[in-house]
Amino acid sequence: MVRPLQRNVRTGFTLIELLVVIAIIAVLIGLLVPAVQKVREAANRMSCTNNLKQFGLAAHSYCDVNGGLPPVMMTVGGSGWDRPTGTTTYGPNWVVMILPYIEQTALYNTTNVPQSITNFQTGVNDQNWRGVRSTSIKSLLCPSDPFNQVQYSGSSGSFARGNYAANQGPGGTSWDGGTTGTRTIGGVAASGRGPMWITTKAPHRCMTIAGMSDGSSNTIMIGEIRAGTVATDPRGVWSLGHAGSSSVVAYAQGDCVLINNRNSGSDDIDGGRDDTALGMGCWASCPSSQAIYRSVHTGGVNVGMGDGSVRFLRDSTTQDTLWLLGAANDGISVPDTN
């Protein structure tokens, strides 16, 4: 009987085939990673948008109950209020005051915050409100910011971070709704007052929604900021009302002109770090008196408008447009930013 010829059966890959497969997998991974990163950033930006909507609703609720938006910061005046490194005369800020409206009533009530607020309204410097300072609140954090998990090491303890800031306006710091700087736009001196400010006396409330005469949909109420890149930088601290900590002011002017400015000395922040490599320029020896909107989102920042809507402002937003959006009653129409 003649046996059929047997062929050798190959059970593995040649080296060349294996290298080709590895190369194909590497290419696929190279294509997949950026896509995953884009999806993650889109989700983070959406989360940030939802946070701002929540704060907008909370600010409206506070305004309805109290007859005006919450103050950027309460103070009994004197010296030291404009330096977060101090421990003297500054009091609760806008976030502390809206805690009951963002599902943080328990935190608000367990640290003597209500009594502290009442005392400040009568000119008494009551620092018991600081009991909330180290509590991290998820809705106050942008998930894209890599530095907001490291607490700020202040002179009176550690303070939790936050990524959202009240708009004092581009014109400069305003006490009790007083006058601020102007900018000439289209031949008109445009007021730079924002919808919220620092208060030194009762009734400690700011502009109403109807008071935004430029239109609440054309006025920024709350916007994004970034946390300091080191523990000693007080930018992005939710319970401090200072510029850069939980408020923006005096932007679209000087050396703090555009969103996400990267130049040295851009913000004027007491104790901040001039970190231009990470886009956080700062003049650290100044009182906290100038800060602009910042985020880690690609190409711009989220801002909450006075009507509760949220816009994404691109880094390319012009100086004039940013001024007009930040000012609540400049009387000049705002260009389309979409």
pLDDT for the residue 155? 76
pLDDT for the residue 120? 93
Task: Determine contact, residues 257/265, Cβ cutoff 8 Å.
Answer: no
pLDDT for the residue 263? 95
Three-class SS state of 153: strand
pLDDT band per the 50, 70, 90 thresholds, residue 9: low
pLDDT for the residue 6? 55
One-letter identity of residue 217: S
For the cut 80, the answer to whether the pLDDT of residue 131 exceeds it is yes
pLDDT band per the 50, 70, 90 thresholds, residue 109: very high
The whole-number average pLDDT for the span 290-312 is 97
Count Cβ atoms within 10 A of the Cβ of residue 292 and give its class: 0-12 exposed, 13-18 middle, 19 or more buried. buried
- Give CA separation, 220 vs 174, 303, 306, in Å: 16, 6, 6
Three-class SS state of 138: helix
pLDDT band per the 50, 70, 90 thresholds, residue 323: very high
pLDDT for the residue 32? 63
d(CA 248, CA 269): 11
The whole-number average pLDDT for the span 172-196 is 92
What is the tens place of the pLDDT at every residue in 236-251?
999 999 999 999 999 9
pLDDT band per the 50, 70, 90 thresholds, residue 17: confident
pLDDT for the residue 7? 55
Q: Mean pLDDT in the chain?
A: 91
pLDDT band per the 50, 70, 90 thresholds, residue 314: very high
